[in-house]
């Protein structure tokens, strides 16, 4: 167990989706700079897109949608609480990114005339671009990483950021999860792309790694940004998804919808207007289950055999390709069986909902030189392409930021404290395993934070979390692999506490099921039409405050703003 020292110009943490773009774009803009891309896993197969993706969920393609339409759709989908400038920064670069990926070799669906074949899945506009041969996305990105000369380092679990004496970012510290080396990386700018907090709630299967998100994304980035003093935003706007029961992966509505698949209740009736994932849709899903109309299913058995084959060729090949193995094990065939769906455990994710590190339209966090992109940042509903675009924005802006700057000075104590924190579980003679603590913590998250949110429950949850925090001093790891898990438990606990505090702070309900508070039914725009922010206060405790929603670039009439409320199909419509 040695200490390694690395010095680079720009450090990109997380080589999933946003990270590769940040690194490639920084290196393309300034080939003379040292750009290091590191990952807890292996960049070649890391992140949400390790096995490709089956569609672009939010393509803004001329002829189908304008940036204005898209920004309005997401504003409405997110109940008005967005920074339109950030959504617009994505929307105006969306098409260029698709063309660039196309040029690199990513395959998107096109019609007979060679135009992109965009489908309507959202409530209002058309933004879904299928990728039936999307399994090669990661390979394509990796080729570009090699081509432009980005340095890559794998199996490094970053645990804390280094902050300079002048408050500027100074680098990061990491654990090599095989050798147990401690790695100190000095950098002039850091781009955090560590994905969602995907190991927050416990999947109902009880399997710790049976998560929707790639389980490498344990929430480390949220914790690191918080401890570096950055502002986190919307942590009360949980990520909750409609998934294949037990398998806990998407079905996926964006693939089957355009082919004619849809969601039904136990009576075989449709009850939601749009399968696009939103808190409002999830609320109707939950009501259906709670109201005795469940289980809820994905229905494909009415489709023609060749249509089902086409669907299987996507769902069983790309993104989560073990879907086919799972169905086979249960004897489920889309041709004559419904697919049982359920509501996932909670997570934090900017890319699916809106909970993340606060960034502006330049991907800048509130710490100078620190950027965030992808699921980790709070740009609502940004998904895969948004992760790439924000990665690009961050990488390019970081090049400008470091111009003429030296590495920030850091005091040695920061480094020593972190070394001590990381290696404590290894040094202990005996104690509680990281797995046991993680299981208990995530079970408590389910018990006390899964919506509907109840004040008294969340308060008890905070007490349990505090007790678990004391247990961290007794955590025992037997090797570097377990030590990585131990560090993840620290991050998961931070996320759980911050999510509970943000949820208690916003005394209204918003975003459908994502922030449904039974003691505060309904929205309260007079008091809560703003972001809820959280950062580490001077006393080391979380500090909560409101951040106003910046004036809209594209004004939306109040009568349209809550258009996603009309998600339920009324019975008269069904009869008609």
Partner 1 sequence: MSTTIEQDFKVSIIVDHDKCIADKGCRICIDVCPTDILIHDAGDGKIKMAYDECWYCLPCAHDCPTKAIKVEIPYLLR
Task: Give the x-and-dash track for 134-173 against partner 1 (CB under 8 A).
Answer: ---------------------x------------------
Alpha-carbon distance of 404 to 389, in angstroms, equals 26
For 129, other C-beta atoms within 10 Å of its C-beta total 25
Q: How far is the CB of 178 from partner 1 (least distance, A)?
A: 7
Among positions 110-139, residues that touch ligand FAD (CB under 6 A) are none
Interhelix angle 434-449/455-471, nearest 10 degrees: 170
94, containing H or E segment: helix 84-104
What's the min distance (Å) between Cβ of 356 and ligand FAD? 9
Residue with tokens 């506009």: 125
Is 478 near partner 1 (CB under 8 A)? Answer: no
Stretch that binds partner 1, among 107-115, 210-218, 288-296, 414-422 (CB under 8 A): 210-218
Q: What would you measure as the largest C-alpha separation in the chain, in angstroms?
A: 72
Instruction: Return the one option of ligand FAD, partner 1, none that residue 280 interacts with (CB less than 5 to 8 A, by type).
Output: none
User: Which of 294, 204, 291, 194 lies closest to 240 in space, CA to CA?
Assistant: 204
Is 492 within 8 Å of 438 (Cβ atoms)? yes
Backbone phi and psi for residue 244, each to the nearest 5 degrees, phi listed first:
-65, 125
Nearer CB in complex with partner 1: 247/564: 247
Between 308 and 384, CB nearer to ligand FAD: 384
Q: Which is nearer to ligand FAD, 225 or 461 (CB)?
A: 225
Residue nearest to ligand FAD (CB): 16
- In the list 28, 216, 355, 366, the residue contacting ligand FAD (rule: CB under 6 A) is 216
Instruction: Show the CA angle centred on residue 295, arms to residues 294 and 299, nearest 5°.
Output: 115
Q: Cα(first)–Cα(last) distance of the chain, in Å?
A: 70
> ∠ CA 41-43-48 to the nearest 5 degrees?
80
Question: Which tokens sit at 207?
Answer: 């399997």
Q: Tokens for 566? A: 């009309």
CA 254 to chain centre: 18
Cα 59 to Cα 95: distance, rounded to the nearest angstrom: 7
Q: Of these, 24, 35, 36, 53, which contacts ligand FAD (CB under 6 A)?
A: 53
In the list 126, 217, 248, 355, the residue contacting ligand FAD (rule: CB under 6 A) is 217
Angle at 298 between CA 355 and CA 135, to 5 degrees: 65
> Which tokens go with 475?
């955590």
How near is the Cβ of 40 to ligand FAD at its closest, in Å? 4
Q: Which is nearer to partner 1, 65 or 484 (CB)?
A: 484
Q: Which of 254, 511, 514, 516 binds ligand FAD (CB under 6 A)?
A: 254
Cβ closer to ligand FAD: 51 or 288?
A: 51
Which among 110-118, 167-175, 231-239, 240-248 is the span making contact with partner 1, rule CB under 8 A? 240-248
Considering the complex, what minimum distance in angstroms separates the CB of residue 340 from partner 1?
Answer: 13
Regarding 545 and contact with partner 1 (CB under 8 A), the answer is no
Site for partner 1 in 306-365 (CB under 8 A): 320-322, 325-326, 329-330
CA angle 13, 14, 18 (to 5 degrees): 105
* 439 is a contact residue toward partner 1 (CB under 8 A): no
Total binding residues toward ligand FAD, as defined by CB under 6 A: 45
| Footprint on residues 482-501 left by partner 1 (CB under 8 A) | 484
- Chosen from ligand FAD, partner 1, none, partner binding at 42 (C-beta under 5 to 8 Å by type): partner 1
Where b means 16+ CB within 10 Å and e means fewer, 518-533 reads eebeebeeeebbebbb
**The three-state (H, E, C) secondary structure of 473-510, written as one string:** HHECCCCHHHHHHHHHHHHHHHHHHHHHHHHHHCCCCE
Nearer to ligand FAD, 142 or 465 (CB): 142
Residue 44, contacted partner among ligand FAD, partner 1, none, CB below 5-8 A by kind:
partner 1
Considering the rule CB under 6 A, would residue 315 count as an interface residue with ligand FAD?
A: no
HSE value, Cβ hemisphere, 13 Å, CA-based, for 420: 7
Residue entry with tokens 């508070």: 517
| Site residues, partner 1 (CB under 8 A) | 41-42, 44-47, 50-51, 155, 177-178, 205-211, 214-216, 246-248, 320-322, 325-326, 329-330, 481, 484
| Site residues, ligand FAD (CB under 6 A) | 13-19, 38-41, 46-49, 53-57, 156-158, 193-195, 212-214, 216-217, 220, 249-250, 254, 319-320, 351, 374-376, 383-385, 387
């Amino acid at each position: 167990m040695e200490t390694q020292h690395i010095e680079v110009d720009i450090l990109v943490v997380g080589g999933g989706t946003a990270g590769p773009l940040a690194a490639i774009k920084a290196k393309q803009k300034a080939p003379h700079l040292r750009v290091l891309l590191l990952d807890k896993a292996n960049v070649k197969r890391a992140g949400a897109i390790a096995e490709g993706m089956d569609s672009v969920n939010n393509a803004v393609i001329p002829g189908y949608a304008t940036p204005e339409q898209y920004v309005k759709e997401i504003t409405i989908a997110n109940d008005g609480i967005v920074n339109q400038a950030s959504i617009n920064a994505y929307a105006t670069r969306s098409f260029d990114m698709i063309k660039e990926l196309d040029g690199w070799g990513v395959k998107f669906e096109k019609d007979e005339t060679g135009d992109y074949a965009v489908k309507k899945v959202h409530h209002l506009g058309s933004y879904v671009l299928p990728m039936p041969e999307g399994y090669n996305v990661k390979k394509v990105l990796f080729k570009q990483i090699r081509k432009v000369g980005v340095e890559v380092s794998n199996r490094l679990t970053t645990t804390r950021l280094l902050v300079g004496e002048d408050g500027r970012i100074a680098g990061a510290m990491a654990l090599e999860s095989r050798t147990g080396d401690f790695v100190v990386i000095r950098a002039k700018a850091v781009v955090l792309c560590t994905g969602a907090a995907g190991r927050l709630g416990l999947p109902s299967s009880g399997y710790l790694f049976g998560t929707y998100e790639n389980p490498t994304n344990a929430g480390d980035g949220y914790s690191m940004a918080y401890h570096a003093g950055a502002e986190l935003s919307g942590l009360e706007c949980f990520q909750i998804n409609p998934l294949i029961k037990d398998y806990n992966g998407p079905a996926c509505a964006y693939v089957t919808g355009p082919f004619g698949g849809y969601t039904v209740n136990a009576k075989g009736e449709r009850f939601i207007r749009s399968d696009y994932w939103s808190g409002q849709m999830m609320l109707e899903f939950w009501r259906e289950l709670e109201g005795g109309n469940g289980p809820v299913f994905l229905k494909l058995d009415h489709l023609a055999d060749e249509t089902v084959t086409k669907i299987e060729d996507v769902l069983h090949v790309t993104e989560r390709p073990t879907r086919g193995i799972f169905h086979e094990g249960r004897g489920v065939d889309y041709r004559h069986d419904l697919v049982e769906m359920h509501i996932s455990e909670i997570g934090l994710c900017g890319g699916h909902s809106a909970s993340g590190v606060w960034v502006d339209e330049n991907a800048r966090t509130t710490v100078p030189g620190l950027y965030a992109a992808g699921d980790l940042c709070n740009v609502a509903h940004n998904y895969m392409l948004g992760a790439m675009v924000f990665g690009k924005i961050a990488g390019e802006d970081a090049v400008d930021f470091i111009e003429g700057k030296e590495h920030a000075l850091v005091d040695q104590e920061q480094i020593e404290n972190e070394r001590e924190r990381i290696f404590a579980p290894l040094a202990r003679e005996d104690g509680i395993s990281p797995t046991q603590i993680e299981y208990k913590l995530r079970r408590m998250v389910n018990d006390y934070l899964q919506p509907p949110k109840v004040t008294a429950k969340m308060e008890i949850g905070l007490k349990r979390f505090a007790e678990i925090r004391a247990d961290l001093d007794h955590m025992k790891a037997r090797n570097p692999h377990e030590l990585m898990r131990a560090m993840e438990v620290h991050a998961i606990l931070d996320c759980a506490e911050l999510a509970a505090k943000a949820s208690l702070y916003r005394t209204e309900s918003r975003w459908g099921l994502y922030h449904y508070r039974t003691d505060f039914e309904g929205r309260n725009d007079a008091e809560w039409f703003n972001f809820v922010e959280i950062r580490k206060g001077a006393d080391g405790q979380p500090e909560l405050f409101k951040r106003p929603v910046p004036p809209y670039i594209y004004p939306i009439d109040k009568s349209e703003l809550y258009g996603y409320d009309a998600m339920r199909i009324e019975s008269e419509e069904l009869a008609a």
